[in-house]
Amino acid sequence: MKLLYFAWIRARIGIPEEDLSLPAGIVRVDQLVDWLASRGPGYAAALAERGSVRVAVNQEHVGLDHPVRDGDEVALFPPVTGG
């Protein structure tokens, strides 16, 4: 799985992207986000306010109940506003 981090999420985690194997039992976005938040203080800080984190799986905006699997590209980013 390829994980991409954008804006302040990237700044708090400290890296722009990473490749990893999906842990056993994680089958939805919300489970992935929970697992990521447990990986250390930077991840926990970046993902503390779940309502401020948007997710795309394979370049499609999805909800927290969307399925994930190895081989997916998952992007985490803040809400985008226009002006």
Q: Which amino acid is at 78?
A: P
The answer to whether residue 83 is domain-embedded is no
Residue-range definition of the domain harbouring residue 70: 2-77
> pLDDT tier at 80 (50, 70, 90 boundaries)?
confident
Is 58's pLDDT higher than 60?
yes
46 token code pair = 């970046």
The answer to whether residue 11 is domain-embedded is yes
- The pTM score is 0.93
The mean pLDDT value for 16-38 works out to 97
Q: Residue 29 class from Cβ within 10 Å (0-12 exposed, 13-18 middle, 19+ buried)?
A: buried
Return the minimum-mean-pLDDT range out of 1-10, 43-52, 65-74.
Answer: 43-52
Assess contact for 73 and 58: CB atoms under 8 A.
Answer: yes
Q: For residues 28 and 64, what is the distance between their CA atoms, to the nearest angstrom?
A: 7
The answer to whether residue 23 is domain-embedded is yes
- The enclosing domain of 63 has a CATH number of 3.10.20.30
| Number of domains forming the structure of the chain | 1
pLDDT exceeding 90 applies to what percent of the chain?
A: 89
What local confidence, expressed as pLDDT, does residue 51 receive? 86
Is 82's pLDDT higher than 70?
no
